[in-house]
Chains A and B, each alone.
Chain A
Amino acid sequence: MAYEKFNILKSTAVPLPIENIDTDQIIPARFLKATERLGFGDNLFRDWRYSSDNNLNENFVLNNCIYDGKILIAGKNFGSGSSREHAAWAIYDYGFRCVISSFFADIFKNNCLNIGVLPLKVTQEDLDYILELVFENPSLEITVDLMNQKLIIPDKEFQRFFEINSFKKNNLMNGLDDIDYLKNMKDEIINFSNKIPF
């Protein structure tokens, strides 16, 4: 999928300190009926954003106008459960480009990297600290420097290196996905297939 190149992101953040947020919460199954990938942002965290009678749930952080930005900060084990890429689409479509957590589920992490959302893993201690800072000061600016793999909070002189493999990093920085790479391997793949018994 074509997506906006990721280089340096400077933004405020939205705190969501709940653990084990699964992809059914990010986008409930009943919204997976579309045959296109756009528009899922409207139903991001649907059952937390709206009550069962479709009224806005004012207590939910996305409905709280103090918090805004392109970075979502979530509790550990974010994105567990169903493999639905719709969860990553919903996050992107809503306007987030980076999710910070202390732990991501594998499939969700891959899905994010394939569509231009950076899953940024920090230690539990750092996560708690950053959440605290954001609750204290919702207009706190956070910088994600992908090139140098650094998470920076300028006001607090906070700086952390984060891991990402160089292949995925290169993809994100150039707006590429794996298909762009695999397309060029076609002959090699066909040759390989002849060696495989099934």
Chain B
Amino acid sequence: MGKTLFDKVWDKHVVRSIKDGPDVLFIDRHMVHEVTSPVAFRGLENRNLKVLFPKKTFATADHNTPTLNQHLPVKDPLSSKQLLALEKNAKKHKILYWGLGHKKNGIVHVIGPEHGITLPGTTIVCGDSHTSTHGAFGAIAFGIGTSEVEMVLSSQCVMQQKPKRMRIFIDGKLQKGVTPKDVALFIISKLSASGATGFFIEYSGEVFKDMSMEGRMTVCNLSIEMGARGGMIAPDEKTLEYIKDREFTPKGNAWKNAQKYWNSLYSDIDANFDKDISFDGSLIDPMITFGTNPGMGISISNKIPSSRDQSDNEKSYKRSLNYMNFNEGENMIGKKIDYVFLGSCTNGRIEDFRAFSKIVQGKKKADDVIAWLVPGSHKVRNSIKEEGLLDILNDAGFELREPGCSACLAMNEDKIPAGKYVISTSNRNFEGRQGPGSRTLLASPIAVAAAAITGKITDPRKYL
């Protein structure tokens, strides 16, 4: 019987299989950031261990960094201590570190692909659940906890039970105004926030074939929001075109050899999936969430569903609506917005800024809306300037910040105030995720742009 894409990559990396236990999986790329690593480095020291493969380890600062005045010392003493700890640890263990202010600095899942660290057929981990982003390149990429970070630092391996395989197949052409973010929110709304737990997903079909690499990253990024370990897409010409000639991409003969391996990375026709799901891409609408988990999403022009139609129990559903101060049966269109957030590893790439700029070009930001536009990396920020998008944004009354995770997890000072509504391109609408008491509506960059100029939830198709 044939193998799935996932099996091909996984099996190649199994160092040892433990009977009635996990596999010992070799990791090609380990990305490290300041928040989930200090305890792991400390653990190494306590056990007197070294980093086994410093060259397979890459560090950046992103979760807890300011997005204004990055050239000044970091004000928050605890944040500054974490940054210092990573800098010291990186130096001590000879790990490449693109710290705050470095021209290659940015969100870990944005800079990996930008510099060719992310490659097809590799295994990639990071102490961050959205590591699934890198699956867009046909890599097995997943988030790990700090104990596992320590494990990978010391042994370049993690011990994992092999997940089951799920295929999500979407054929057809997307309607105008439907973005990769909408496709992902649509899938999650169908499967629920836990519907893919225990699975690794392969996305296939015309919709994903047609998508840009940026779009594929957005989709794979959100795999974790339905509980999946990760999601991946078979590499194709677009993938190779994207990675070619980047800093860490193999060159010359190494490229040719790698290509042979990469060309074998697809699911065989007779491969077996534990679960197969398919949707018609032409039926997907622009989406928005209305509750406190990413599974609570609907077409933007629909009404908030009744608790009777939900898989979660009624009490949890009502609790969620109560937190949002929404009622069953209400329209989403027209609801007032206080903040907009464009950024994060989900939608903080250049394509997202292009899409946003196109909508706001020649218009003005609504007066009572506060907008935070945070590029995923310095590279993205520079492209925004070079492509003339910054002028468009400034003319429309928007400012651009410096890169980082920012209000995606609100660990730095970028916190949405209690009770306020934010329409956000990030990935989690949990209670308080974007600041204590904040209320998040997840949507695509163009839906966020439309809300930024009207001050209300607006169907982005009106502005295309």
> Given the complex, which residues of B lie within 8 Å of A86, measured CB to CB?
146
- Contact call A82/B129, Cβ cutoff below 8 A: yes
Nearest-Cβ distance from residue A77 to partner chain B, whole angstroms: 4
Indicate whether A32 reaches chain B with its CB closer than 8 angstroms.
yes
| B30-75 residues at the A interface, CB under 8 angstroms | 35-36, 38-39, 42-43, 47, 49, 52-53, 63-64
- Contact call B293/A185, Cβ cutoff below 8 A: no
Q: How far, in whole Å, are A18 and B258 apart by their CA atoms in the complex?
A: 48
Which of chain A's residues has its CB closest to B122's CB? A198
| A123-173 residues at the B interface, CB under 8 angstroms | 165-168
- Which B residues fall within an 8 A CB radius of A? 12-13, 15-16, 18, 20-22, 24, 26, 28-29, 35-36, 38-39, 42-43, 47, 49, 52-53, 63-64, 76, 78-79, 81-82, 85, 119, 121-122, 127-129, 142-148, 150-151, 154-161, 163, 193-194, 197-198, 227, 229, 250, 257-258, 261, 292-293, 312-313, 315-316, 319, 409-411, 415, 418, 428, 430-433, 436-437
Q: How far, in whole Å, are A66 and B28 apart by their CA atoms in the complex?
A: 50
Q: How far, in whole Å, are A157 and B12 apart by their CA atoms in the complex?
A: 48
> Given the complex, which residues of A lie within 8 Å of B227, measured CB to CB?
77, 80, 105-106
> Given the complex, which residues of A lie within 8 Å of B161, measured CB to CB?
165
Between A19, A22, A83, the greatest number of chain B beta carbons within 10 A of the residue's beta carbon is seen for A83
> Given the complex, which residues of B lie within 8 Å of A104, measured CB to CB?
197
> Given the complex, which residues of A lie within 8 Å of B431, measured CB to CB?
24-25, 47
Q: How far, in whole Å, are A104 and B121 apart by their CA atoms in the complex?
A: 29
Q: How far, in whole Å, are A179 and B140 apart by their CA atoms in the complex?
A: 22
> Given the complex, which residues of A lie within 8 Å of B160, measured CB to CB?
110
Q: How far, in whole Å, are A45 and B259 apart by their CA atoms in the complex?
A: 49
Nearest-Cβ distance from residue B142 to partner chain A, whole angstroms: 8
- Contact call A77/B42, Cβ cutoff below 8 A: no
- Contact call A182/B151, Cβ cutoff below 8 A: yes
- Contact call A77/B194, Cβ cutoff below 8 A: yes
A81, A111, A182: the one contacting B145 at CB < 8 Å is: A111
Known contacts A52-B418, A105-B197, A81 near B129 by CB under 8 Å = yes
Q: How far, in whole Å, are A109 and B342 apart by their CA atoms in the complex?
A: 32
Q: How many residues of A contact B (CB 8 A)?
A: 59
Q: How far, in whole Å, are A22 and B20 apart by their CA atoms in the complex?
A: 29
- Contact call B193/A185, Cβ cutoff below 8 A: no
Which of chain B's residues has its CB closest to A22's CB? B430
- Contact call A166/B21, Cβ cutoff below 8 A: yes
A24, A75, A177, A193: the one contacting B26 at CB < 8 Å is: A193
Nearest-Cβ distance from residue A119 to partner chain B, whole angstroms: 12
- Contact call B15/A85, Cβ cutoff below 8 A: no
Q: How far, in whole Å, are A69 and B163 apart by their CA atoms in the complex?
A: 33
Q: How far, in whole Å, are A20 and B18 apart by their CA atoms in the complex?
A: 32
Nearest-Cβ distance from residue B385 to partner chain A, whole angstroms: 30
Q: How far, in whole Å, are A13 and B111 apart by their CA atoms in the complex?
A: 45
Q: How far, in whole Å, are A135 and B29 apart by their CA atoms in the complex?
A: 48
Known contacts A107-B129, A197-B261, A179 near B155 by CB under 8 Å = yes
Known contacts A182-B24, A189-B52, A35 near B36 by CB under 8 Å = no
B36, B47, B52, B193: the one contacting A77 at CB < 8 Å is: B193
- Contact call B316/A84, Cβ cutoff below 8 A: no
- Contact call B194/A30, Cβ cutoff below 8 A: no
Q: How far, in whole Å, are A32 and B146 apart by their CA atoms in the complex?
A: 12
B53, B79, B144, B229: the one contacting A33 at CB < 8 Å is: B79
> Given the complex, which residues of A lie within 8 Å of B129, measured CB to CB?
81-83, 107
- Contact call A193/B150, Cβ cutoff below 8 A: no
- Contact call A103/B194, Cβ cutoff below 8 A: yes
- New A-B contacts (19) at CB < 8 Å, excluding given A29-B433, A33-B411, A80-B193: A18-B316, A24-B430, A24-B431, A77-B193, A77-B227, A80-B293, A81-B430, A82-B428, A83-B36, A84-B145, A106-B163, A106-B198, A111-B148, A114-B148, A178-B159, A182-B157, A183-B47, A183-B49, A196-B13
